[in-house]
């Protein structure tokens, strides 16, 4: 269980700010406004009490391992931030780790360190899509998730790709909010993208965009998920087929955030299996 446990102790719970009364049905991933992007549709769930219910705030934890915070120029002329652990030897292989709704906290740094240890020939960068904000309560997390502007997140991801360089190979992994952005990262990486892992994140529904993918996708989903539900997953598989792309889907007999130890619906055995699948996939794509 090891690595995934430490990271998703605060992760994958991508939930919502409490307070508004929208129902899960009204905000289902299939009923989003036509003008909303996939990631914006997921962020709207921050108004759903049912979505946020049972999502405990992360326990106190201070990461003290290797790695450092970095800055890089972003495509919109601003500055982006991330947490980087360099490969033990010079390498053009990069794994982008994309945080859940809490933000780039110490649990994410620990998860990044775990992947770095498991794949010593890969540079690992945890991207900060919240521009320095880290949530400690569900209310804050929901506000931050809703506050993410698509244009800014895209600029940050492109900035990280420019930081890695034109000869770099990219793979990504993310959970829930970060799962959706993991797929978007793969799309933005173009021909430099070699792999993508998304844990119960919002799929891209634009087949034209999916046609631009340069890699296959590993999707890890939960059969009992009310939002990224089997219907959404099935449509994603159809869309990927229509785009001429390959997606490998594993649906677990569990609920959303089953890989998060801080969640009441956490399933240790299934989380361990999911992590091993993700690791095996990423090693193969990055030749780590």
pLDDT in tens, 152-206: 999 999 999 999 999 999 999 999 899 999 999 999 999 999 999 999 999 999 9
Q: How confident is the model at residue 274 (pLDDT cuts 50, 70, 90)?
A: very high
With bands split at pLDDT 50, 70 and 90, how would you rate the model's confidence at 211? very high
Q: How far apart are CA 171 and CA 98, in angstroms?
A: 11
d(CA 227, CA 222): 10
Indicate the pLDDT class of residue 52, thresholds 50, 70 and 90: low
CB atoms near residue 152 (< 10 Å): 18
pLDDT at residue 263 greater than cutoff 90: no
pLDDT at 120 over 60: yes
pLDDT greater than 80 at residue 55: no
List the domains of the chain with CATH numbers.
Answer: 2-286 (3.40.50.1820)
Residue 10 has pLDDT above 50, yes or no: no
Q: What is the pLDDT of residue 39?
A: 82
User: Rounded mean pLDDT of 218-235?
Assistant: 96
Confidence of residue 266 (pLDDT cuts 50, 70, 90): confident
- Six-digit token string for 91: 């390498």
Who has greater pLDDT, 10 or 66? 66
pLDDT given at position 265: 78
Q: Are 254 and 270 in contact (CB under 8 A)?
A: yes
Question: How far is it, in rounded angstroms, from Cα 178 to Cα 232?
Answer: 17
Q: What is the mean pLDDT of the chain?
A: 86
87-118 confidence digits (pLDDT tens): 989 999 999 999 988 899 998 898 899 999 99
Question: What digits encode the pLDDT tens for the residues 13-22?
Answer: 433 333 333 3
Weakest mean pLDDT among 8-12, 83-87, 157-161: 8-12
Give Cα 51 distance to the centre of its chain.
17
Instruction: Please report the pLDDT score of residue 1 as a whole number.
Output: 39
The mean per-residue pLDDT over the stretch 25-54 comes to 59
- Beta carbons of 164 and 123 less than 8 angstroms apart: yes
- Sign of the C-alpha dihedral computed for residues 188, 44, 76 and 168 taken in this order: negative
Residue written as token pair 């978007």: 184
Q: Within 9-82, where are the H helices?
A: 38-43, 49-52
């Amino acid at each position: 269980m090891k690595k995934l446990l430490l990271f998703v102790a605060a992760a994958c719970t991508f939930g919502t700010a409490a307070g508004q009364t929208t129902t899960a049905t009204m905000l289902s991933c299939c009923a989003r406004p036509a003008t909303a992007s996939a990631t914006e549709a997921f962020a709207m769930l921050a108004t759903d009490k049912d979505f946020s219910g049972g999502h405990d705030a992360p326990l106190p934890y201070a990461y003290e391992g290797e790695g450092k915070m970095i800055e890089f120029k972003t495509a919109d002329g601003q500055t982006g931030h991330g947490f980087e652990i360099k490969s033990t030897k010079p390498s053009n292989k990069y794994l982008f780790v994309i945080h859940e709704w809490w933000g780039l906290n110490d649990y994410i740094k620990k998860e990044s360190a775990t992947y770095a240890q498991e794949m010593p020939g890969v540079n690992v960068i945890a991207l900060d899509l919240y521009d320095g904000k880290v949530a400690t309560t569900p209310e804050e997390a929901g506000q931050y998730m809703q506050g993410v502007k698509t244009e800014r997140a895209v600029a940050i991801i492109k900035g990280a790709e420019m930081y890695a360089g034109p000869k770099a190979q990219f793979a990504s992994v993310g959970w829930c909010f970060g799962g959706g952005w993991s797929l978007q990262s793969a799309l933005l990486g173009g021909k430099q993208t070699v792999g993508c892992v998304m844990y119960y994140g919002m799929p891209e529904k634009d087949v034209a965009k999916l046609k631009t993918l340069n890699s296959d996708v590993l999707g890890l989903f939960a059969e009992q998920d009310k939002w990224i539900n089997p219907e959404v997953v099935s449509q994603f598989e159809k869309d990927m087929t229509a785009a001429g792309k390959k997606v490998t889907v594993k649906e677990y007999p569990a609920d959303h955030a089953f890989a998060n130890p801080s969640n009441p619906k956490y399933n240790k055995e299934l989380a361990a299996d999911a992590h091993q699948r993700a690791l095996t996939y990423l090693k193969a794509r990055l030749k780590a």
